[in-house]
Amino acid sequence: MKPRIFSGMQPSGGLHIGNYLGALRNWTQIQYDYEPIFCIVDQHAITVYQDPQELRERCEQLAALYVAAGIDPEHAAVFVQSQIPGHVELAWIFTCATPYGWLGRMTQFKTKMQQAESSQESIGTGLFVYPVLMAADILLYQANIVPVGDDQSQHMELTRNIAHRFNALYGKTFVVPETRLPTVGARIMGLDDPTQKMSKSAAGPNHAVSLLDPPARIKKLIGRAVTDSQPAVRWERPGAGVKNLLTIFQSLSGWSERQMESHFAGMRYGDLKRNVTEMLVSSLDPIQAKYADLMANRDHLRRILRGSAERIAPIAEATVRLAKERTGLYSA
Ligand code: AQP
């Protein structure tokens, strides 16, 4: 039997190229080596308010994007978290087994707290316990490997710690999963500020290229991407913005370091940006075309989601049953 992989994304906004290069594309490349389960984590999305109708719509949009980007729904499970009740059942059991201090140390939570205008009154408790739900998502399917971007490394460490703690308290119950980062593109930075990771929730109009952006917008965004005061690529010491553009190109092209150096060393920034734009447009074009087809056939999309959920439900039910038994929760 092949090892199992699990990963997910929030339907909290359009996917950007950071989500694609850090996670989704990696999933498409490794899916056939594993038993893959890919989730749309709507329960994570509601840790901040979402318009209900929009949220439901975004779940289907995200499913379509997974498939359009190359996830094979005949092979991989593609489903929405809320379709399987085991995620929240296991999350509660884990919440009780997770020390408060572990969650307080999560940098993503601390950053979001700092960003919130009126701090504690506007931050939902869900945002604090979100990493426990993430642990439940993964451990529910006894996943061996979790392919994510670099920003999720700390949450993955927590997931492993929760698995170890539960196993130590109640006996070996959960597989302790490994994190799998892509070799290039694990952290794509904002185009308007290359010191910040590209993020769905960042507000700036020139921050991110969305997977569904048309060529003219991609050209404009890359054209406005922050570089530095140098005129051309200093290969040995590129500034953060230039490095980010090179990473985007390398990640999409699959070029080696040597190919990159011989093509880009000394290249003027205008030409660098033209190269990156062309690479992005030609890489995203087939995804956008397939996405449009899938969105035009919602019945097919819903059949994928229903079929996947039915296929993986027994795995989730078996894990919840075992976790309840181990913790002494009552069932007659
Ligand atoms: N900038 C990035 N570079 C590489 N990988 C990234 N990921 C996110 N941003 C980058 C990876 O994409 C997956 C999406 O997970 P998510 O939907 O839970 O979103 P997130 O990690 O919280 O980051 P976002 O998309 O920017 O959303 P917000 O703004 O809500 O935080 C994960 O595998 C992540 O590592």
Q: What is the pLDDT of residue 242?
A: 97
Q: What is the pLDDT of residue 221?
A: 97
> Is 133 found in the same domain as 52?
yes
Q: How much distance in Å is there from the Cα of 190 to the middle of ligand 1?
A: 12
pLDDT digits (tens, 9 = 90+) for 271-301: 999 999 999 999 999 999 999 999 999 999 9
Q: Are 159 and 177 in contact (CB under 8 A)?
A: yes
Residue 167 is part of which domain span?
4-180+298-327
Measured CA to CA, the distance from residue 23 to residue 178 in angstroms comes to: 15
Q: Is residue 201 domain-resident?
A: no
> Is 30 found in the same domain as 162?
yes
45 lines ligand 1 (CB under 6 A): no
Copy the structure tokens of residue 66. 């997974």
**Ramachandran sector of residue 171 (left: φ over 0; alpha: ψ -120 to 50; beta: rest):** left
Q: Is residue 50 domain-resident?
A: yes
> Is 306 found in the same domain as 266?
no
User: Which residue's entry shows tokens 């490794």?
Assistant: 30
Q: How much distance in Å is there from the Cα of 267 to the middle of ligand 1?
A: 30
Q: Is residue 191 domain-resident?
A: no
Q: Is residue 204 domain-resident?
A: no
Lowest mean pLDDT across 180-184, 207-211, 287-291: 180-184
Q: Is residue 332 domain-resident?
A: no
Q: Is residue 281 domain-resident?
A: yes
Q: Is residue 186 domain-resident?
A: no
Amino acid at 90: L
Among 285, 294, 273, which Cα is nearest to 215's? 285
> Is 10 found in the same domain as 106?
yes
Lowest mean pLDDT across 12-16, 110-114, 221-225, 297-301: 110-114
> Is 312 found in the same domain as 286?
no
Q: Are 158 and 164 in contact (CB under 8 A)?
A: no
> Is 316 found in the same domain as 267?
no
241 lines ligand 1 (CB under 6 A): no
pLDDT at 186 over 90: no
| Mean pLDDT on 79-85 | 98
39: three-class secondary structure by DSSP: strand
119 lines ligand 1 (CB under 6 A): no
> Is 154 found in the same domain as 36?
yes
Dihedral Cα 94, 95, 101, 103, nearest 10 deg: 90
Rg of the chain on CA atoms, in Å? 21
| Closest residue by CA, ligand 1 atom 31 | 199
Q: Are 168 and 203 in contact (CB under 8 A)?
A: no
What contacts 89, CB < 8 A, 6 or more positions away? 320, 324
Q: How much distance in Å is there from the Cα of 145 to the middle of ligand 1?
A: 17
Measured CA to CA, the distance from residue 41 to residue 55 in angstroms comes to: 11
* Nearest-10 crossing angle of helices 298-327, 153-170: 40
199 lines ligand 1 (CB under 6 A): yes
Amino acid at 295: M
Q: Which residues are catalytic?
A: 112, 197, 200
pLDDT digits (tens, 9 = 90+) for 128-147: 999 999 999 999 999 999 99
| Mean pLDDT on 171-196 | 94
pTM across the whole model? 0.94
Our mutation pick for probing the ligand 1 site, out of 16, 19, 133, counting the most ligand atoms within 8 A of Cβ, is 19
> Is 120 found in the same domain as 24?
yes
The enclosing domain of 149 has a CATH number of 3.40.50.620
The enclosing domain of 219 has a CATH number of 1.10.240.10
Instruction: Point out which residues pair with 40 in neighbouring strands.
Output: 9, 80
149 lines ligand 1 (CB under 6 A): yes
For the chain, what is the domain count?
2
23 lines ligand 1 (CB under 6 A): yes
193 lines ligand 1 (CB under 6 A): no
Dihedral Cα 99, 100, 104, 106, nearest 10 deg: 40
> Is 129 found in the same domain as 28?
yes
Q: Are 88 and 134 in contact (CB under 8 A)?
A: no
Q: What is the pLDDT of residue 120?
A: 61
N-to-C CA span, the chain: 33
> Is 304 found in the same domain as 279?
no
Q: Is residue 323 domain-resident?
A: yes
> Is 309 found in the same domain as 285?
no
Q: How much distance in Å is there from the Cα of 187 to the middle of ligand 1?
A: 9
Q: How much distance in Å is there from the Cα of 22 to the middle of ligand 1?
A: 8
> Is 90 found in the same domain as 70?
yes
| Mean pLDDT on 299-310 | 98
